[in-house]
Structure 1
Amino acid sequence: MKSAQVKITTVLIILFLGVTACTSPADISGTLHGLKKENVKIYLIQPDALKHVAASYLGKVIDSAVVASEGNFEFHNLPTTKEPVLLELAVQPTGKSGNYLQNDDPKTANYMPIVWQSGETLQISAEYNNFQQSFTIDNPSDINTTLLELRDLKLEAYRTNLANKQWQVEEGDELLAKEHAILQYRTVLMTFAENTPHLLPAIIALRWVSPENDYERVPEFLVDQCSKWQKIQPDHPWVKQLCKESAPANLPVLIGDEFPNVELPTITKDTVSLRDSLGKKLTIVDLWASWCAPCRLENRNVLVPLYDEYHDQGLQIVAYALESNEASWKAAAERDGADRWLQASDLQGDDAPFLKKIRVRTIPSNFILDSNGVVIAKNLHGEELMDLVKNNFEK
């Protein structure tokens, strides 16, 4: 009889614990609106490293939930940590992995980063087809409010600079226009990261600048972010990873750096020292190629007029060509009028040792140096480059 009582008591305790667990409030719950199909799943993702943030297939799926027919979902399997943790919620189209994140268009992005802290409950609402754009949190904390503000800034920057743009990138001016628009979009995110007092939203902004982790065009931004957060949260693992990424050996020559002095083989079969070739006032180190349409336009429309007007006043241009065919290089330089200034190449194409030395992979690219060989500006083209040169010679 006692044995039966013990069994009954045990069953009741188990049932009680089960009911308690099922009725305890979810750490994260919400409603997904606009569902037009069944068995939609929403995933909870935890990035373990800086490069995993806002990156497809890299974050760790720690929980998932089937969205009920009325749109409700709940998460109970949250990390056991006392510190605030960055998580990502993602709804997935059919056939996609739980940690697939769509970054091409903020209007249709399928995920949203949030910050969660132990003991906190988050109530979320979003539309299925424009998850990130419509994402809201009831009574969000300061840090989640900041993330929502960042989301809005990104969306507006995208609408202003990139939405519905169709560039014909085979045309030189169109490619430069696209690059300028991308830089304008990135600048909004970089300005946010520079000004926010919150590390995790700054990390999101940094990763949204380039989910592909390519900061070749904005390396100074990485350096500045390392400097900022190293003073505030030096022990955070992502700050340490950020500072490792922003080490000089991993980045192109920075504004404020002294440009490396290298020996360059010229189109006339000579070898020149870059340091000995500096202009008395300014030097443009121009990276180009005969097959690069925007480079060719820059030669004819910008560099030739600048050289003709300011060379006698102390402007020098040193061009390095990513060529493997000497005849094509010479023909392009002569046709563009670019044989007026120093032309150099190792004729090793993309494997050029000079590019490895200055850690550049993308052209058109340039560095503007002062009379001492210090970089004062980079990657200026068209009117921006012409204005910089003109202002330096006429001030």
Structure 2
Amino acid sequence: MKTFPIKNTIYLILITSILIACQSPSELSGKLEGLEKEAIKVYLIQPETLGEVATSYLGTVIDSAEVNSDGSFKFGNLPIAEEPVLFEIAIQQSGKAPNYLQTENPMHSNYMPIIWQSGMSLQITAHVNDFQKSFSLKNPSELNKALLNLRDINLKAYQTYLEGKQWQLEDGIQLMEKEHAILQYQTELIKFADATPHFLPAMVALRWVSPVNYYERVPEFLVRQCDKWQQNQPEHAWTKQLCEQSAPSNLPVLVGDVFPNLQLSLITKDTINLNEQLGKKLTIIDLWASWCGPCRIENRNVLVPLWKDYNNQGLQIIAYGLESDESAWKTAVEKDGAGSWFQASDLLGDDTPILKKIRVQTIPANFILDENGVVLAKNIHGDALLAWVKNYMKEQ
């Protein structure tokens, strides 16, 4: 009788184990609660690019499953994925596009991101009416645990800062309150993305920060994410797309940058170079307009008292107005008591080259510079700006 050396026997056992592991069945199935008579279908969607994550109508539908009368469903055409890949599972009522994603309110979102790899067996349970909120997985992987944790963070932040809030947008104060609430909500997702060691969950967090792809108020976040994943996932196509989006030419002037030395035309018809007029301790570059309600409130309630209290201590304010009507501009400056500091405008409205140089599209906006023109902070408004300047001046 022939015998095999022990070394060969161990080798065969290892090969057999690997083959068995590779042949382990892939399964993606689940059960929905709260079914009514209306037909429900479940879709498996693959975002091909970073910009397609958490975006309606753009992801590619790669499989679908009918929901049985007992709420059960099972995908039958699962893709082969040797590496973890991000999918989105969406439920749709009859007549809805397969890749329609409800992204405005996470409390009622009809989809949930998951991370899939061949050989995985994922069992889902969820309620039809609050699919993302109630979504759970049996024995989730570490990557899917991270996504579920992100989902919980997103829901809690939404409930805390945005749920049920109704702002009167014609009211300048409430408009700024809304922007502040949105930033607080985004900050919770940003903290997750900055802390997680997992690439795909971080990309979902990044997209949930702004499904409409608007990062003007948080551009430093994009830069941090680019730097982080260039180190850890340099070959992933989404890293390259992220870093293209976070290139300096696509973002406003960042905290830590030297603010450009702009040449400004003043309301007095004089011209100044910004660098020659920097405050000895601090300079606020204020972007505003006579037609901007929150800007006018900021003039009267924040900038006027700051100027009064700190101009003699080394504070400078240089305001730039997005104006096209010189008369309206001058009237607003006079009414707001804002004529004590530099007021500049090219009277070209939104077409001013100044905005292109600093890559800003939204007002009110501000940049707070040190005595050398380095940006210390930006887009701080209201009481927060009053407190920031007060604390900074105390420390100098």
TM-score using structure 1 length: 0.92
SS at match of 1:168: coil
Alpha-carbon shift at residue 219 of structure 1 (Å): 0.2
- CA contact 2:278–2:371 (8 Å) conserved in 1: yes
Distance (Å, rounded) in 1 between the aligned partners of 2:315 and 2:270: 21
Alignment partner, residue 6 of structure 1: none
Alignment partner, residue 112 of structure 1: 112
Distance (Å, rounded) in 2 between the aligned partners of 1:345 and 1:133: 48
Alpha-carbon shift at residue 69 of structure 1 (Å): 1.2
Alignment partner, residue 193 of structure 2: 193
Alpha-carbon shift at residue 33 of structure 1 (Å): 1.0
Alpha-carbon shift at residue 37 of structure 1 (Å): 2.3
- CA contact 1:369–1:376 (8 Å) conserved in 2: yes
| 1:310 counterpart = 2:310 | yes
Alpha-carbon shift at residue 268 of structure 1 (Å): 1.0
What amino acid is the match of 2:388?
A: L
Alignment partner, residue 76 of structure 2: 76
SS at match of 1:73: strand
1:286-309, CA deviations, whole angstroms, 9 ceiling, x for partnerless residues? 000111111101000100010011
Alpha-carbon shift at residue 326 of structure 1 (Å): 0.5
- CA contact 2:45–2:62 (8 Å) conserved in 1: yes
Alpha-carbon shift at residue 25 of structure 1 (Å): 6.2
Alignment partner, residue 244 of structure 1: 244
Alpha-carbon shift at residue 94 of structure 1 (Å): 3.7
Distance (Å, rounded) in 1 between the aligned partners of 2:114 and 2:210: 19
Alignment partner, residue 184 of structure 2: 184
Distance (Å, rounded) in 2 between the aligned partners of 1:111 and 1:234: 29
Alignment partner, residue 323 of structure 1: 323
For structure 1, which runs of at least 5 residues remain unmatched after alignment? Answer: 1-23
What amino acid is the match of 1:234?
A: P
Alignment partner, residue 262 of structure 2: 262
Distance (Å, rounded) in 2 between the aligned partners of 1:92 and 1:251: 37
TM-score using structure 2 length: 0.92
SS at match of 1:129: helix
CA RMSD of aligned residues (A): 1.1
| 1:391 counterpart = 2:381 | no
Which structure 2 residues correspond to residues 337-376 of structure 1 after superposition, within 5 A?
337-376=337-376
- CA contact 1:102–1:111 (8 Å) conserved in 2: yes
| 1:234 counterpart = 2:244 | no
What amino acid is the match of 1:312?
A: N
- CA contact 2:38–2:94 (8 Å) conserved in 1: no
SS at match of 1:275: helix
Alignment partner, residue 211 of structure 1: 211
Alignment partner, residue 7 of structure 1: none
- CA contact 2:26–2:119 (8 Å) conserved in 1: no
What amino acid is the match of 1:123?
A: Q
Distance (Å, rounded) in 2 between the aligned partners of 1:356 and 1:149: 39
Distance (Å, rounded) in 2 between the aligned partners of 1:69 and 1:278: 71
Alignment partner, residue 144 of structure 1: 144
- CA contact 1:287–1:363 (8 Å) conserved in 2: yes
What amino acid is the match of 1:387?
A: A
Distance (Å, rounded) in 1 between the aligned partners of 2:183 and 2:94: 33
- CA contact 2:168–2:175 (8 Å) conserved in 1: yes
Which structure 2 residues correspond to residues 21-40 of structure 1 after superposition, within 5 A?
27-40=27-40
- CA contact 1:26–1:76 (8 Å) conserved in 2: no
Distance (Å, rounded) in 2 between the aligned partners of 1:29 and 1:38: 20
- CA contact 1:26–1:74 (8 Å) conserved in 2: no
Distance (Å, rounded) in 2 between the aligned partners of 1:96 and 1:145: 29
Alpha-carbon shift at residue 26 of structure 1 (Å): 6.0
Alpha-carbon shift at residue 270 of structure 1 (Å): 1.4
- CA contact 1:38–1:69 (8 Å) conserved in 2: no
Deviation larger for 89-98 or 62-71: 89-98
Alpha-carbon shift at residue 272 of structure 1 (Å): 1.1
SS at match of 1:362: coil
Which structure 2 residues correspond to residues 137-176 of structure 1 after superposition, within 5 A?
137-176=137-176
For these two proteins, the number of residue pairs brought into alignment is 372
Question: Which stretches of structure 1, 4 residues or more, deviate above 4 A after TM superposition?
Answer: none
1:143-170, CA deviations, whole angstroms, 9 ceiling, x for partnerless residues? 1011101100100000000000011111
Alignment partner, residue 20 of structure 2: none
Distance (Å, rounded) in 2 between the aligned partners of 1:38 and 1:164: 28
1:179-212, CA deviations, whole angstroms, 9 ceiling, x for partnerless residues? 1110110000000001111001000000000000
Distance (Å, rounded) in 1 between the aligned partners of 2:279 and 2:26: 67
Alignment partner, residue 280 of structure 2: 280
Distance (Å, rounded) in 2 between the aligned partners of 1:234 and 1:215: 22
1:46-74, CA deviations, whole angstroms, 9 ceiling, x for partnerless residues? 00000000111111111111211111111
1:84-125, CA deviations, whole angstroms, 9 ceiling, x for partnerless residues? 010000012343211111111111000000001111111111
Distance (Å, rounded) in 2 between the aligned partners of 1:44 and 1:272: 58
SS at match of 1:339: coil
